[in-house]
Structure formats: structure tokens, C-alpha cells
Amino acid sequence: MSDHFDLIVIGAGPGGEKGAAQAAYFGKRVCIIERAPKPGGAAVNTGTIPSKTLRETALYFSGLRQRGLYGVDLRVKHDITISDFMFRERAVVEASWSLIDENLKRHHVTVVQGSAKVVGPKTVEVTRFGKDVREITGDAILVATGSHPQQPKGVAVDGTIIVDSDSLLTLQKIPGRMVVIGGGVIGCEYACIFAALGVKVTIVNSKARLLAHLDAEVGEALRRQITARLGISVQVDVEVTEIAVEGEHARVNLSDGSSIYSDVVLFSAGRVGNTEGLGLEELGVKCNQRGYVQVDKNYRTAVPSIYAAGDVIGFPALASTAMEQARVAVCHAFDLRYKQQVSPALPYGVWTIPEIATVGESEDALITKGVAYEVGRSSYRSNPL
């Protein structure tokens, strides 16, 4: 079976969906290949939307949403169950699936389910259990396969005691104690969610501060808030030397000689690009040691007909950014006089409790570049409302 399209998109996450729709909007014949049964990628199924929906659920059940952050009683309603916690998340995810399907159908994008392998600069093979291998050719290929959680060394993610940001959503009960390894966006967000539900949470971070890619003041302000308001214990500048499962609990040994015992350990110390098995490097596409595809300013790889966008190329790994990157990539692939670049000032939101939002350069980055700047400070405490 052989088919030819103007554009082949691999991955139906935010970048893949919007890149496909952008090309189709300009009259291109587009095929999108997705190996999962449902579209949306990590943003819909395991990342952005689930975590934000769970956050709102946690705020509701804890009473934080009703009473505000200051001086609240953080006791969770006594009759909460895991089904209560997850029901809204499932409903939102299913609604997102429908919206993506509608968008692709509206733009007449051909959807193919199966695992893709790029076997030539303009050729992709799709395999699916019980089906013959399907060969699809295209004038351009957009790789938008996303990323997955990096796995811990020396212990397996079992989805019950040792979890990552994907398997965390399948927990059958809310634990009494949780250790979060990693002080990045995902670790801090989930730490806040579970702390709001009454879980005793400890964050262990190998770096000197939380959210190291943001301003130091911001990271420190978050640490103070989540420690004082949510009761989260934060340990920074310390390495995890061992994670061991002992019966129904886990032991986390640290480089300072201490140990922490927990019901659940969330390992969230980075992500890896979904490029394994795609056949990219065999064709000359360059990937770094974390599996992220290397691209130029137009999102073109070392192979002229192959582009990449979204989490598979690394930072900032935001759904909104992935969408714009894919649109720009497609416009350059077909010389469309539309979106030519992604804005250099990207809004960045972190849905901790409280939330954080930034845009533009950090203070550290400006210092490194030798750019003059001014700092202004104001506290929400000064606002009587």
C-alpha cells in the first residue's frame, strides 16, 4: 500500500495537530500518523491538561479554591476517594480528544494509526499489529513525537510505589507520604497538588533552588510559600543515591547520609525526546544525548525535507510553543508567506500553588549577556482585595 502527501506529520500532539492544520489550511494534502489509540500526546493524555485539571480538583476538595490561600485549614474532605479525584480529569481529556478529531476532520487531514519509521528523506513506513506495513511518501516530514519521562536508575517504575509523571495518573489511592525527586515544573506542580490533598510531601532537588530556569527570587518565593502554606518539605542541593522498594513502601537515600521513607516516589528529574526507533539518525538527522532533535531557526533538521517541532526538540517544551513552532516549520517547508518565526518573548506559566508566570529574559540571563536592566518589586500582600 503506497500513498503520497504534501506533508507527513508524525505525532498528533499539540505541535503535530496544529502543524497539520496549518498546512491543510493552505491547501496541502496532509497525513498525520499517531501510534497511540487517541490523539493529543502528553499535553492531553499525561501532561498539561491532566495536571491542570487535577490541580483544580485538588483546590476544590481541599477548600483552597473556596477560601483563598491565607489562613486556611488544609484538611481534605474526609470522604474523598480516588475516583472523585480522577473523574473530572477523565472528562476533560475525553472532551479534548473530540476537539482534536473535529479539527483534523474539518481540515481534511488523513489520520493513520500506527508506529512510524522514517526510512527515507521523504518516506515513512507505518506498522500496526495485524496489518501490512504501509508506505507513505511526502514532500516534507514534520516530526512532532514529543517526549517521555526519564527513568530512574537502579529501580523500575512500577506505577504503584515508584511512579513517573505518566503512571502517576493511574494511582489507585491517595498516598499518605510522597517523595518528589526533581524540583522542575512537573515535580513542583504535582507536589503542590498532592500536598493540597493532605499528603505529606518532600521535594528532593539536586540543584540549589527550585525551578532553576526562572529567576532565583521567584524560585525562593515559591519555596517559602509551599513550605509555609502547604507544609511541603524542600531539600535542595542534594543527590539521590538510592531508591529502594521495601514491601509496600519506598526508601530514598540521599547524598547527605539521610533517608526518607515514603508510600510513593514520583521521579520527575527530566524528560527524553521520543526519537528511538524513528530511524532519524540513520538518515543523518542529528539528535543529542537526551534524544532531542537538533534543528535550525526554521525548525529544519540536517535533512532538508525533515522538520521537527515541540517537545521532541527540547526546551521550553510548552504546548502553546509547540503549536507555533510547528506552524512556522510548515510555513518554511512550503515557502508560505505567513508565520516566519516564533516570538522571542514566550509566556511561561507554572501551575504550582500559588501560580507563577513569566515572560521574556530572566535576571540571570540578562547578567550573563551584559544587558542593563531594572528590577521592580510589589507584593500581593499590599493589595487589600
Q: Which of 310, 320, 328 is nearest to 349 (CA)?
A: 320
DSSP 133-168: -EEEEEEEEEE---EEEPPPSSS---SSSEE-TTGG
- The secondary structure of residue 77, as a DSSP letter, is P
Q: How many residues does the chain have?
A: 385
Task: State the distance between the two ends of the chain, measured CA to CA, in whole angstroms.
Answer: 65
Q: Calculate helix-pair angle for 48-62, 185-196, nearest 10 degrees.
A: 30
**pLDDT for the residue 65:** 58
CA distance 132 to 126: 9
Taken in order 326, 329, 334, 335, the sign of the CA dihedral is positive
Taking the mean position of all CA atoms in its chain, how far away is CA 205? 18
**pLDDT value at position 268?**
95
Looking at residue 72, its pLDDT comes to 47
Tell me, what DSSP letter sits at residue 328?
H
- The percent of the chain in helix, strand and coil, each rounded to the nearest 5, is 30, 25, 40
To 10 degrees, the CA torsion angle through 330, 334, 335, 340? 0
Residue of 46, 53, 294, 54 lying closest to 147 (CA atoms): 46
Q: Which domains does the chain have, with CATH numbers?
A: 2-149+272-333 (3.50.50.60), 162-269 (3.50.50.60)
**Strands (E) located in 61-206:** 110-113, 115-120, 123-127, 134-143, 147-149, 162-163, 177-181, 200-205
Amino acid at 308: A
The candidate with the shortest Cα–Cα distance to 141, out of 20, 224, 56, 222, is 20
In angstroms, rounded to a whole number, what is the distance separating the alpha carbons of residues 149 and 51? 15
* pLDDT values of the chain reduced to their tens digit, one per residue, 385 residues: 458 999 999 999 999 999 999 999 999 999 999 999 999 998 888 878 888 888 888 887 777 655 544 444 545 556 666 666 677 778 888 999 999 999 999 999 999 999 999 999 999 999 998 889 999 999 999 999 999 999 998 899 999 999 999 888 888 888 999 999 999 999 999 999 999 988 999 999 999 999 998 999 999 999 999 999 999 999 999 999 999 999 999 999 999 999 999 999 999 988 999 999 999 999 999 999 999 999 999 999 999 999 999 999 999 888 999 999 999 999 999 999 899 999 888 888 999 999 999 998 889 899 999 999 999 988 877 877 6
For helices 319-333 and 14-25, the axis angle rounded to 10 degrees is: 40
- Cell triple for residue 305? 525535507
